[in-house]
Amino acid sequence: MDDWAKIRQLFSTGQHSKREIGRLVGVSRGTVDRALETDRPRKYERAAVGSSFDAFAPQVRVLLASTPTMPASTLAERVGWVGSASVFRVKVAEIRPEYVPPDPADRLVHEPGQQVQCDLWFPHELLPLGNGQEGTPPVLVMTSSFSGFFQALMLPSRSTPDLLGGMWSLLQAAGAVPMRLLWDNETGIGRGKLTERTASFAGTLGTEVKLLKSRDPESKGMVERRNRFFRSSFMPGRVFASPQDLNEQMAAWLPVANSRHSRSRRARPIDLIEQDRAAMRPLSPVAPDVLFRNTVRLPRDYYVRVHSNDYSVTPGLIGRLVDVTADLEQIHVSHNGVVVTSHDRAWARQLTVTNPDHVAQAAVLRAQFQTLHRNQRPQARFAFVETVDLSHYDDVFAVETGHGLANLSRLA
């Protein structure tokens, strides 16, 4: 290549003959002539030779015409191929497109306000959850397809109420609702079909919750890349005292992350989000139902269970129906519409959360019950047996006790 370029450069000056050019470059005169015959460098091409596959190609084509998706291993077995399996797969891959129609993928164009991609990210390091427990709770990540603006919030669990509560919290922070919320097949959202709570959530907000088909990660590739960005840019060098601490640090970091320049968008997400929000619909005046709900009859031990944890309730309601609700932060227990007990929600599992006041109230009620039980206990009843004078039996059996004594004295 260098000789060809040098020969053409020397000849173009018009100052050297072909023989002199050959001497300067160190090649023959014939090489100079051949180099000047073409405007492009010569390329070595090996003469085409036949392949052992050529004898099997007609049979393979017949099988592909009837069954275009037949695996290469099956084709090799059908046609009696005994050569290299990798060579056979390469040759089949070259001719298969002639029989299988292509599956084109359109270039996606994201309009403002149309779509927000949602996914769960799990930290690769354990976090302290309290009560000596550690874990990796899920982090809900929501990324706008148009602006690339993303939000995140760590949730206590992957249950449907927590997922819906997390989405509602982030949508409130954004101040608008997109036309579509894109999810893969997350159990709490739905698999193939939305859960009843999720469908109600979408209807209240006037948006669509779209479930992706299986094995389709490309459709939400933006939020997938954000998950890797968390691991590489947010987590290194940070220490977290609790999930609440992680959420606080993340809230402080997100504005910085959204201020990074995006080369594909030629702008910063924090600047494009305003255009995104302008095309979204406003928040619904009616808040969607995102609470965990349950109605139970309070048992004697005056505890109710929420997400594997037991929380104490004022014992005065034992035996009555109570309504239990839970959001991302607190547990509330109400009776006849009046909240009677509240607890901060625990992130650890299998805990018993007790309010000392409830234990004291239970002790008072227990003492009152025992006192009442003693006072109402029935008195012991004794059976009185009538006693009769023994002389009564003498009269019944006509025994004369005095006459008998006289006879006995006479005999003596």
Integer Cα distance of 21 and 6 in angstroms = 9
The per-residue pLDDT for range 159-195, each reduced to its tens digit, is 999 999 999 999 999 999 999 999 988 999 998 899 9
Please, which residues bridge with residue 130 across strands? 133
Integer-rounded Cα Rg, in Å, for the chain is 45
Task: Examine residue 44 and state whether it is found in any structural domain, yes or no.
Answer: no
Task: Examine residue 301 and state whether it is found in any structural domain, yes or no.
Answer: yes
Integer Cα distance of 15 and 293 in angstroms = 95
Q: Using the 3D structure, point to which of 338, 361, 384 is the last residue of a domain.
A: 361
User: Is 238 in the same domain as 350?
Assistant: no
User: Is 131 in the same domain as 222?
Assistant: yes
Number of structural domains in the chain: 4
User: Is 185 in the same domain as 248?
Assistant: yes
Is it the case that residue 25 has pLDDT exceeding 90?
A: no
Burial class (CB in 10 A: 0-12, 13-18, 19+), 329: exposed
User: Is 22 in the same domain as 64?
Assistant: no
Mean pLDDT on 227-235: 90
User: Is 157 in the same domain as 180?
Assistant: yes
pLDDT of residue 409: 44
User: Is 210 in the same domain as 319?
Assistant: no
pLDDT of residue 101: 84
User: Is 12 in the same domain as 76?
Assistant: no
pLDDT of residue 136: 94
pLDDT of residue 406: 44
pLDDT of residue 247: 96
User: Is 126 in the same domain as 202?
Assistant: yes
Q: What percent of the chain has pLDDT over 90?
A: 66
- The mean pLDDT value of the chain amounts to 87
Give 216's pLDDT tier (boundaries 50, 70, 90).
low
Is it the case that residue 92 has pLDDT exceeding 50?
A: yes
pLDDT of residue 383: 52
**Consecutive H or E run containing 172:** helix 160-174
Task: Examine residue 199 and state whether it is found in any structural domain, yes or no.
Answer: yes
**pTM exceeds cut of 0.85:** no
The per-residue pLDDT for range 118-158, each reduced to its tens digit, is 999 999 899 999 999 999 999 999 999 999 999 999 999 99
Closest CA to 320 of 291, 294, 348, 300: 300
Task: Examine residue 383 and state whether it is found in any structural domain, yes or no.
Answer: no
Give 401's pLDDT tier (boundaries 50, 70, 90).
low
Task: Examine residue 409 and state whether it is found in any structural domain, yes or no.
Answer: no
Give how far the C-alpha of residue 77 lies from the chain's centroid of Cα atoms, to the nearest Å: 44
Parent domain of 22: 2-37
Mean pLDDT on 325-332: 96
Provide long-range contacts, Cβ within 8 A and 24+ apart, for 227-236.
227/119, 227/121, 227/141, 229/257, 230/121, 230/123, 230/139, 230/141, 230/152, 231/124, 233/257, 235/123, 235/124, 235/125
Mean pLDDT on 69-95: 93
Task: Examine residue 270 and state whether it is found in any structural domain, yes or no.
Answer: yes
Give 407's pLDDT tier (boundaries 50, 70, 90).
very low
Integer Cα distance of 155 and 347 in angstroms = 9
Burial class (CB in 10 A: 0-12, 13-18, 19+), 39: exposed
Task: Examine residue 287 and state whether it is found in any structural domain, yes or no.
Answer: no
The per-residue pLDDT for range 261-293, each reduced to its tens digit, is 988 889 999 999 999 999 999 999 999 999 999
Integer Cα distance of 177 and 171 in angstroms = 6
